[in-house]
Chains A and B, each alone.
Chain A
Amino acid sequence: MCLGVPGRIEEISGDDPVFRSAVVSFGGTLREVSLAGAPHATVGDWVVVHAGFALGTIREEEAAEVFDYLDRISRMGSEELAADPPPAAGPPDAIEGGTG
């Protein structure tokens, strides 16, 4: 039910926030998606779509975080891990390297 599928905004129509919608491409399949929850999204943005509704835009600069974290932990021994705890979760701009 909480399925969210990433897609790219191809077109946007409507001004009223409740009716503003986008044509979103899911690997070439096009679908109309409400932008009521993503009013600042623009053409070319990637959004996570759930039940015809954009939950928000994907932060593309964070897309490789899964691989960056793997690189870091692969280069460390377990002792070093214990000595280098990641920061607690905070505002996104406070998360150094995005592991928080």
Chain B
Amino acid sequence: MRFASEYRDAAAARAYAEAIATICRGRWTIMEICGGQTHSIMRYGIDRLLPDAIELVHGPGCPVCVTSAELIDRAIGIASLPDAVLCTFGDMMRVPGSRTDLMSARAAGGDVRMVYSPLDAVREAAANPGREVVFFAVGFETTAPVTAAAVLRAEALGLRNFSLLTAHVLVPPAMEAILRNPGRRIRGFLAPGHVCAVTGFREYESMAADHGVPIVVTGFEPLDILEGIHMCVRQLEEGRAVVENQYVRAVAGDGNPDAIALVRRVFRPVDRAWRGIGPIAGSGLDLKPEYGAFDASLRFDDAVSAEPEPTPCIAGRILTGEAKPGECPAFGTSCTPERPMGAPMVSSEGACSAYFRYGHRHGRSR
């Protein structure tokens, strides 16, 4: 396949690893923001190719992981209503709310359907005019344009039975929160390539300057990640802290203006609580008042959230790069992908799931 397998060349990967070792003098902790990058790093053993002086820590870029238990409880509540259909990405099915998950809600008779795209949920609404179809809209800036397009399609089709339970989140405010952590060890970032394909990277430039951290917009294939690490280490060694773009084949500085316009038409920034991290100002997207007719939280306002049960899960520290999965007492013992305690063990982008799947059973990347 073009634009994919050619970036997995083993000889080139080894050459990159050697080039990184050649320029590396200091000890550097670098965070990759996106869970997709975390999985590539574990799947291809990129962490084990790097010199010991470079530590990769894993960021909060897993939208399923940071969705609050309260919103999951609301989704479960909606799914349990007799005339409702709750559509969700498959990743969300087994993420625990405060007491249970969507998979269990389905087993108990709720109509929960997994979709590949929000546009599929619009099709469900058109095909089921007697049912209330609710799409559980999770995702970062990458997903916001297609969610916006789904709302605009539903509006154009005159569908009154389609709505969103919106959990959209934004990357830069979360990075700011990590950067303001007084104990932070992170000296550089690999920024998420597909988020930046939509938004561009202008917003990251002031962050790099203000906090003195290099930020390299990076893709997802092994050679992309290795090049991103090289660019980041090179900046650190040279004492520079600017935004650079590794993922030039997909990302332009100003992003995708058409996708940005879709998002701005439908959504507005709001404060959002991140699971395990807490509230972050301006870190979410919600429907604009003029699209309130598509807001499931206005349509179904009787959902209640229970107090979460106590758990040894340290998902919050995992999501901010303060801890690695192996530091959790539950990792691989009482918490596994089959019986997850926290979202990072469930999601295809969660750090715990990546460590478990790719054989780092002790939870250490090296």
Contacts and interface: CB of A to CB of B under 8 A. Distances in A.
Interface string A23-59: 0001100000010111100000010101111011011
Given A2-B140, A59-B248, A86-B244, A70 B16 contact: yes
Interface string A1-31: 1111110100000001011000000110000
Contacts of B15: 70, 74
Contacts of A95: 245, 248
Contacts of A1: 35-36, 62-64, 89, 91, 138-140, 142-143, 347-349
Interface stretch (B46-54, B101-109, B232-240, B326-334): B232-240
Contact of B119 (A6, A53, A81): A53
A100 B152 CA distance: 36
B253 interface: yes
Contact of B249 (A5, A65, A82, A88): A65
B3 A46 contact: yes
A46 B250 CA distance: 10
Interface stretch (B189-197, B267-275, B277-285): B189-197
Interface string B41-65: 0000000000000000000011110
Contacts of B248: 59, 62, 65, 92, 95, 98, 100
B98 interface: no
Nearest to A51: B117
Contact of B149 (A4, A37, A48, A99): A37
Contacts of A37: 145-146, 149, 198, 256, 258-259, 262
A1 B244 CA distance: 24
Contacts of A67: 12, 223
A88 B256 contact: no
Interface residues of B, number: 73
Interface string B111-153: 0000011111000000000000000001110110110010011
Interface residues of A, number: 51
B296 interface: no
A98 to B, nearest CB: 5
A5 B252 CA distance: 18
Nearest to B142: A2
Interface of A: 1-6, 8, 16, 18-19, 26-27, 34, 36-39, 46, 48, 50-53, 55-56, 58-60, 62-63, 65-67, 69-70, 73-74, 78, 81-82, 85-86, 88-92, 95, 98-100
Given A4-B220, A6-B3, A56-B259, 10 more contacts: A16-B156, A34-B149, A39-B258, A50-B194, A51-B89, A55-B145, A55-B194, A66-B227, A95-B248, A99-B244
Interface of B: 1-4, 7, 12, 15-16, 19, 22-23, 34-36, 61-64, 89, 91, 116-120, 138-140, 142-143, 145-146, 149, 152-153, 156, 192-195, 197-198, 201, 205, 217, 220, 223-224, 227, 230-231, 234, 237-238, 240, 242-246, 248-250, 252-254, 256, 258-259, 262, 347-349
15 contacts: A1-B36, A2-B34, A3-B194, A4-B250, A6-B2, A19-B153, A37-B145, A51-B146, A52-B119, A55-B197, A66-B224, A66-B227, A89-B243, A92-B248, A99-B244
